[in-house]
Structure 1
Amino acid sequence: MEYIEVTSKPPEDSKPITLVIGKFDGVHRGHVMLLQKALDYRDGMLAVMSFTDHPNWILRNDIEYKRSLTPLMQKIALMQNLGAERFYNIQFTPKYAQIPARDFVIHYLSRLNIKRLVVGDGFHLGKGRESDTNDLIGYCKEINVAVSVIPLLKDNEEKISSTTIRSHIKEGRIEAAGKLLGRHYVVAGEVIHGNALGRELGFPTINLGHGAEQYVPPKAGVYAGSAEICHSPNESEHRHALISAGYRPTVDGGNYLIEANLLDFSGDVYGKKVNLSFYSYLREELKFNNLEELVKQMKLDELQARAYFQMHHTKQAIIASSKFIG
């Protein structure tokens, strides 16, 4: 995919494109439908225009939006798998947010050879979200660009939104989040060294480090899931996993950490990228009186996770769950 960083106006380009604009936080089922509709309309290459950071973080300093459902590189990988050929990444800043909607269309989008602009219903543009899709259609007529507004996808009569998915993840409703995403929720990171306590207890774990801090953190607790171990850009290995997210109160862990016990696996994965897919929330994080009680519970957790895998998943399902992750 062609990647273009945009700090001001996009570079002039005469190549015909169909352009889709949005935040695309999560690249959920609604976003997938938007891209699919754009492919139906496509005239020229399919391009996507999105933002580095969520506007709620940049403009309101809302800490809830500092982290993403799909950080940039994952978003790009998902978009590419959905057929996008070019990705405009706008460096969204308070200054950029002051651009009036009409100016953005007339002086920014006009630099591109847009044959059709595709947005979702409810899309707003410009300073203070001043303009809706009707305004957008009017402004685009001035530069001879057709606009298609796609109705929002609903699930049980409720629109599918990134805000709802974030809420599900933070409250441990991981299966509900996966239903709206259209895939399991994934947190990716580089494996770092820990204190090796899990190995001493008979449950060796991998600890996710660099990269994992970019994601919306799942509720503290224990999950059934899977791990994609990236050995090289073209080679990966998949394993069922018992995932623990949280603060490790029994051992006074302190900071939030995501770690995973890879079932039926032995090997050195330090320094490698791992994509952890969250399937099902098994239980809340608990503080035990001693390590013996912790080990006893971990054995029960593993039995519960294996029963879940036997009932719900095959190896093929594991591979399919992470097929979009780059």
Structure 2
Amino acid sequence: MAIMALSPSSLAFTVQRCEPELVIPTKPTPHEFKQLSDLDDQESFRFQIGVIQFYRCDPSMHGKDPVKIIREALAQALVFYYPFAGRLREGLGRKLILECTGEGVIFIEADADVTLEQFGDALYPPIPCMDKLLYDVPGSGEILHCPLLLIQVTRLRCGGFIFALRQNHTICDAIGIVQFMSAMGEMARGYCTPSIPPVWQRDLLSARNPPRVTCTHHQFDELPDTDDYPLQNMVPCTFFLDSTKVNAIRKHVPGHLNQCSTFDMLTACIWRCSTIALKPDLDSQVRVIFPVNVRAKLSPSLPTGYYGNAVVFAVAITMARKLCDNPLDMQ
């Protein structure tokens, strides 16, 4: 049992965690090799990404241990999502291959001497002590030959708990991991099988052979290095825009554009404001890049249950002068 003291600027508490363990599927699973899609296999997806969820005390769950329930649900879900229990290998040309070994995923049981209320009324990123609520097991964060998931469940003094997960992004995107977590929730509630069966079929998103270019993909443009916006001068912060704020911004949108989506409107507003704040050369080119889920945009669409990476990046480009000098309705 390891004990760690957590001391963010406004919160101090102690966490006790058990030694990490490997959770394996409850039933034997196939030992096989699976190809990733060319979308999964991108260099830009070869990293780990974390998720954290906070749960209040539920009186109906009195006497039930969330750690035990989640551990068992995880093992049951891995029967259907058995690729998560495997390990990535690297083939010719650095092509990733998934070996379904059934070795399991890392699971950590922990207890924190803190209540959910002590985190504050609104849990906004960045979360205090994220690195301790999701312990980075030494040697677990590599892309190859490592567990693809790391999960930590931390009981809180108030009876609530924190669920934190880290995934290898090459295996799935946010929608895919939510699908897996939903399956875990169903297993915890007594389901025998997930309501949405998982679909691998990564060949659906492999490139043509030979590839055929249908448009210019500006997201892959090589841009010159610049020191105009040093990262050390950037301050991470989170903005939450409720319906009142969204409606206030929409009043600046002219009538003929009033049917634009909230996403388009907010993206235009934030892009314009951030560009003005950065004070670029007005004759320079600026761009905004954002992810797009293509599951339903392809023809035919991807099958329901597909949990691989199905997000591509779209880019909008304009001149800084046009963005900064014109009102929102001209973007």
TM-score, normalised to structure 1, is 0.23
> Higher helix fraction: Structure 1 or Structure 2?
1
Larger radius of gyration: 2
Greater relative contact order structure (CA < 8 Å, 6+ sep): 2
